[in-house]
Amino acid sequence: KNLYKEVDDLSSKLSEIELKKGFVANTDNSRTYNLKEIDELAKSIRNERTKLKIAIEPFLKDEETKKILGDLNQSIANDKKSLLDIDNLIKKITKSKQQLVDTKKQIFDLYESNYKEYEKVIDLLKSRTSDLEKDGLSIIGKILFNYPKLRKCLMDISDGRSASYSRYSILENNRKSSDDCEYSLIFEDIKKIFDDILSKEYGLTSRTTIPNAIKTILDDYFFDFWEIKYKNDKLGEMSTGKASFVILMLIIGLSKSKAPFLIDQPEDNLDNRSITTDLVNYLRNKKIERQIIIVTHNANIVVNADSENVIVANQKGQNNEKSSSSFKFDYINGPIENSFDKLESETDVLKSMGIRQHIADIVEGGKDAFMMRERKYRFN
């Protein structure tokens, strides 16, 4: 620092001499010029300054080096911090990417497990549906995919100008929900649409957000379809009565409960031949396994199904018949074997004849009507 000060002082003196160069002041205020002395003095000062500069040059260089090194060290420290920040950012990005990969895998694992649930349902019911085959009923379960529904849902959120949906086979316009379910094709196309939506390659309408679009494609478009046949007739092609009978078979056959069944007029919309050959035989077989209670007006069901207990109901005042019963609705029950002709002295309608006679009276139109039909048919 002292050297610097000396150099500065010499420089100041030299500057002053330079200003005064060419004249000196006399006592009478006149000026006398002594150029030679002034030049020599100035030269001496310059030489001294040069020597001093040479002497302090290493120190100056050392200070500059220190400053440069300080700047470099600060720059290195800043770069290290930046590199650390970049490294942390890369780690976060890598972690986020891995989380995205893991999340996507979880999503499609769930998608696949959802499909497998349908397979489980069909497999679980196979053992139960196979039991129905002995009754002539077959049920074949399969998984289908609602292609039209998916297409419509995606069309509602797709930008029609880009027509992105045209790139995927599962969105072809000719596909129907009754078509076979090609799971591998569906799975790959759903994943591709998923990726294209995330990368914005799939054109969406301006009002549709990416999360909503993802929800749309990941919705459950699978469904289980059961093809039901009875004696090679498909359920959808049967008459109303026969279809009702087949549904009754399904309800009874698939139920695991041991509670009694209550059935109201199963003969509705069935012709008497179907009642006798199908319904009656079925009821005779099933009543061994479970108690069946039937409300009916059909004689074939009451008689030919071998009813163990027949309940006859009467509403007081109906059919202009008078009854001494004190109840508006009255009942009597017993087996078909309970038989005796009408007792004219009995004023209670239900007690006036046997169960067999009640059956003939109610479902056959009476004994006379039954005998008349028998004579008409001339089966004997």
pTM, 2 dp: 0.60
For residue 310, what pLDDT is reported? 94
- Inform me whether the pLDDT recorded for 33 exceeds 50: no
- Inform me whether the pLDDT recorded for 157 exceeds 80: yes
Residue 31 binned pLDDT confidence (cut-offs 50, 70, 90): very low
% of the chain with per-residue pLDDT over 90:
27
* Structural domains of the chain, with CATH: 2-66 (no CATH), 122-228 (no CATH), 258-377 (3.40.50)
- Pick the residue with more confidence: 341 or 55? 341
For residue 145, give the nearest of 219, 236, 237, 235 by alpha carbon.
Answer: 219
Q: What's the pLDDT tens digit per position in 283-303?
A: 988 888 889 999 988 888 888
Q: How many CA atoms lie within 13 A of 236 on its CB side?
A: 3
For residue 108, what pLDDT is reported? 93
For residue 223, what pLDDT is reported? 95
For residue 36, what pLDDT is reported? 63
Stretch 16-34: mean pLDDT: 51
- Pick the residue with more confidence: 8 or 231? 231
Directed axis angle between helix 183-198 and helix 210-217, to 10°? 180
% of the chain with per-residue pLDDT over 70:
81
- Inform me whether the pLDDT recorded for 189 exceeds 90: yes
Cα distance between residue 349 and residue 337, in whole Å: 19
Mean pLDDT, rounded, of the chain: 82
